[in-house]
Structure 1
Amino acid sequence: MLICATATAATTINASKSFMDTTFYYFHDFWEEKGDPRVSSLPLMYGGPWKVLLISFLYWYFVRILGPALMKGREPFDLRSVMLLHNSFLIGVNGVGFFVALWVTDMFKETWNCGPVDPNTSNLKDNLTVYLGYIYFLTKIVDFGDTIFFVLRKRFHQASFLHVFHHGVMPIVGFVGLKFHPGGYSGFLPTINILIHAIMYAYYALACAGPEMKKYLWWKKHITQLQMVQFVLTFFHAFNAIVNPNCHWPLVLAYLEALHAVLFFFLFASFYQKAYGSSSASSTSSPSVSSTSKKAVGNNNKTD
């Protein structure tokens, strides 16, 4: 009986150890084994996306729960100078990043050729591609500042589901793409997205510069139109990888990109219809353009 009990205990211990090993593998080792080794040394990129998920959760918690509670009974902050600095910084990062991306992608050609990415390469262009992708990933976290400004200015209505959801998801999208396939075919979405962001933040910089800029803000709805065009192009980019049997882009990334494109196209289209579907809606609603789209309100202060 003692032998049986000992054997049972040993089996239980082995099963527990196996479970822990499997859990740790998928929690950490899987991401390092399958991921590109060139990104592992970068902050937030070692192991799985858990730190990024935590950051996104803290963002959601602040804008939905903690921030409104802290601002209850307080006067809204005047953050126009901070917002102008924030917008100007992101204009510069996204604008310069777009032209660098044109060079490293050979004018978008590398983002459509379905070629493999060599994780062992050390040439200048490939290394620059990795760091450019990393900067793009970091800007998705910097974008959280947009919503934080809403909360501190008590513009809670501007932190819509679309805005918060899109902002919260984008750092995770950036992490996964950079971790498993930095550069090459993965470069399409970031390249087109940073161009739209440079345009978008130029609009918001003007919007928060003062009421005298109002006459230059007639093109606000075209930001949302650009977003929807982006999602259509992104869907066909993913579809090309799915139907091409010789494409080296991971199929799971193709399906995720297609899902992302379809989901946000319909979310943005729904917003566009509500905001600009009639002349009355266009004149009375605040334009909102989520993580890649924001709102400018009547006083022309930059908002999401």
Structure 2
Amino acid sequence: MLVGLLRIILHYLKKQTLPGPLEESGGRCCDRSWRSFALPRVQKQQKWTNDGGAGGGGRRRHRRTARKSEKRLRMGAKIFIARRVNDSWPERHPLTEEKLLHAEKTELDPHFEQLLTKSDKMEEQSKKLLSAMEAYLQPNPALRMGDAFYEKLEIRLDTSPANRSNNLEYLGEAMQEAGQTFGIDTAFGGALQKVAQTEAKLGGAERELIQTTVGQTLMPIRRFLEGDMRNIQRERRVLQKKRLDLDAAKSRLKRARTLESQATAEADLRVAQAEFDKQVEILRILLESLQTAQNQQLKHLFEFVEAQSQYFSTCQQHMADLKRELSSAGGGR
């Protein structure tokens, strides 16, 4: 991926030369393009090709020269890009050197890395669980999107999920209207009236299940993602910044040449190390507290199972009562 990105950048840089500031060491101007890093080798390679070489040995030397030129070209491009990024965003200097020039990177201890990995997996699975729970409670994706949109805007409508009729209630209303049209005194119209009443009861049971699940299971998952996980992600970004500051302090200490600059760099390094260690401990406490959050999620899962069990038990009882009424009326034969 990095090679592909470099190729795109190199193709763009072939057509232009970006001006840069004067170098501190020699006072030379950096107003040169990436081609200045590899152009002498490329010219020698082209001259050798034009001369015809010297048989098989010449071709082998030509290939070796081409590989060296390509390697030199890539490294020159990396240095060129790193300089341009560092000139534009000085605060990203350690990260640029780390990504492009493979500079030193402060590593975290394995146990802490495991906690971070566990946190990432827990966040990913919690998001999937939340999405699946929302789809279970509202299978219509358009309505789910609309509810989420109005919830973000804090707009309350009469067609909110709490006031919206579900499919069972719509079915009951249609059956009740049809029964009245056909005549309650007829066998078919009377049966439609009885079934309509049962469908309305089933719709009420479903509404109660949805309200219970939203309050006891769905909202706790959402609060966990928007609360605990968001705090962890924020502290991880702070830790990343502290790590880059620590890497920059180590780099300055290595480049220090005078006693005064070494003393200043050592003091900066001690401060950066202390801030980094403090941030690691803050994040470690948050990561270790995820086990408590997981225990709370287990409690909410039990509540969801209990609500579902009550819902299906209620529905079964309503259907048994309906069958008994229809049988006694002579419509169940």
TM-score (norm 2): 0.22
Instruction: Indicate the structure (1 or 2) with the bigger Cα radius of gyration.
Output: 2
Structure having greater relative contact order (Cα 8 Å, sep ≥ 6) = 1
TM-score (norm 1): 0.23
